[in-house]
């Protein structure tokens, strides 16, 4: 169902995406199709779960990777930072996703009990794609601007 979803671009190309939701007395169903609801091929899927209260994930940026994050269960906050400014987004619906683009620092916190973060990623895991040092990320971002 290309084009039916709502996308709100709000920060450095990052987007909030409404994912189709098929309601049914038997329970709801949502689906995501590559190059339709998201504008990249899905090369990897991973998920964060059993996150202890007060724990934080992320704390890095990517050079080339795009990802779609979904709170499949529960809720958590995502802080996005481009080296100049930041925004905070709460994900708490299994039918809404957040696309995070390259060169955006992300930190995930405030995980609710039982929260599950599903991630659809544009590339396989590659440690060399990470900026894990904020100062180095900020300098690299400044050179691109």
Q: Which is nearer to ligand T46, 28 or 47 (by Cβ)?
A: 47
CB–CB of 75/91 below 8 Å? yes
Backbone angles phi, psi at 130, to 5 degrees: -95, 140
- Minimum distance from CB of 53 to ligand T46 (Å)? 16
| SS3 of residue 132 by DSSP | coil
Site map for ligand T46, 37-76, x if CB under 6 A? Answer: -------x-x-x--------xx--------x---------
- Which tokens go with 29? 């169903």
The residues with which 132 forms a beta bridge, in sequence order, are none
- Minimum distance from CB of 13 to ligand T46 (Å)? 15
Strands of the 105-109 sheet, one edge to the other: 86-91, 76-81, 105-109, 57-62, 130-131
CA geometry: angle 13, 19, 21, nearest 5 deg: 170
- Minimum distance from CB of 140 to ligand T46 (Å)? 16
Residue selected from 10, 31, 47, 125 as contacting ligand T46 according to rule CB under 6 A: 125
User: Is 124 among the catalytic positions?
Assistant: no
Q: Which of 37, 60, 123, 124 is catalytic?
A: 60
Q: Which is nearer to ligand T46, 27 or 54 (by Cβ)?
A: 54
Q: Which residues of this chain interact with ligand T46, rule CB under 6 A?
A: 44, 46, 48, 57-58, 67, 106, 108, 119, 125
């Amino acid at each position: 169902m290309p084009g039916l979803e709502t996308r709100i671009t709000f920060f450095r190309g990052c987007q909030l995406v409404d994912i189709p939701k098929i309601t049914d007395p038997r329970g709801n169903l949502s689906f995501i199709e590559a190059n339709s609801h998201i504008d990249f091929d899905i090369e990897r899927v991973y998920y964060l779960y059993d996150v202890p209260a007060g724990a934080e994930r992320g704390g890095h940026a990517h050079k080339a990777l795009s990802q779609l994050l979904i709170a499949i269960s529960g809720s958590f906050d995502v802080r996005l930072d481009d080296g100049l400014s930041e925004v905070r987004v709460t994900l708490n619906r299994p039918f809404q996703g957040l696309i995070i683009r390259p060169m955006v620092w992300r930190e995930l916190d405030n995980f609710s009990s039982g929260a599950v973060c599903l991630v659809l990623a544009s590339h396989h895991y590659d440690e060399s794609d990470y900026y894990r040092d904020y100062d180095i990320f900020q300098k690299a971002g400044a050179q691109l601007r």
